[in-house]
Structure 1
């Protein structure tokens, strides 16, 4: 029997070409760092970086309570690193939000607002050699290593 309400999502992860650049003297930087500082929140972010997911699926994948997942999703959404992209329904007909990483990638720059012009020049030079996708991958890996301490 076909279902009236969708229980699966067809949401995909899409990224823009222009990252948001946060520096140490930016108030949003603290929010992002605080939102990603716990192991659970970081795990949620990494999972959503791979595939869109509902809170129930995240809780199941990370072996966490649904309440704990909702807490971290709220913090990550407030910091602007994830967003709701779709809605689907549970087997019982309950509405569930589908989360993904934000469309705009975020680059955390360990300098001040005054240092941004030199950062932009350096990235332009680097981009002309490797291309924008390589830079975003390298920046993401650098942030990952900073947060995990590896």
Structure 2
């Protein structure tokens, strides 16, 4: 017998190619670090980075109370690192949000806004350590936009 209301989601984790760059002198950076500072929040974020999930599924997988999971989901959503992507329904017919990591990846730069040229040098050094300069070619356009502020 098919169900009237969907109890599962077919949402997928899709990431864009435009990273959000956070630096130390940015208030958003503080919010992200505070939201991820607890072990439970960090584990929730890691789980959502692998697959979309409802609060009930997260609570079951991490052996946490649903109230604790809701608290951390609210903090993570307020910081902008996760978002609601879909809605499904429990066996009892209750509406449940399905959470995923935010579509834009986030790059945390441990410098200030004035240090953006250091970011470019850091990427060049990183690429030279790995060998192939193709890393910079693949990310070149995004990096140049970040560095120039365009």
TM normalised by structure 2 equals: 0.83
In the alignment, what sits opposite 1:51?
A: 51
Give the 5 Å matches for 1:120-139.
Answer: 120=120, 122-123=122-123, 126=127, 129-130=134-135, 131-132=138-139
User: Could you tell me how far 1:46 is from its partner in structure 2?
Assistant: 0.1
Q: How many residues align?
A: 132
In the alignment, what sits opposite 1:92?
A: 92
TM normalised by structure 1 equals: 0.83
In the alignment, what sits opposite 2:33?
A: 33
Deviations 1:57-108 (A, max 9, x none): 0000000000000000000000000000000000000000000000000011
Q: Which runs of 5+ in 2 are unaligned?
A: 140-150
Alpha carbon RMSD of aligned pairs, Å?
A: 1.6
Query: Per the alignment, do residues 84 and 128 of structure 1 end up closer, same or farther by CA in structure 2, a change over 3 Å counting?
Result: farther
User: Could you tell me how far 1:124 is from its partner in structure 2?
Assistant: 7.2
Give the 5 Å matches for 1:1-150.
Answer: 1-120=1-120, 122-123=122-123, 126=127, 129-130=134-135, 131-132=138-139
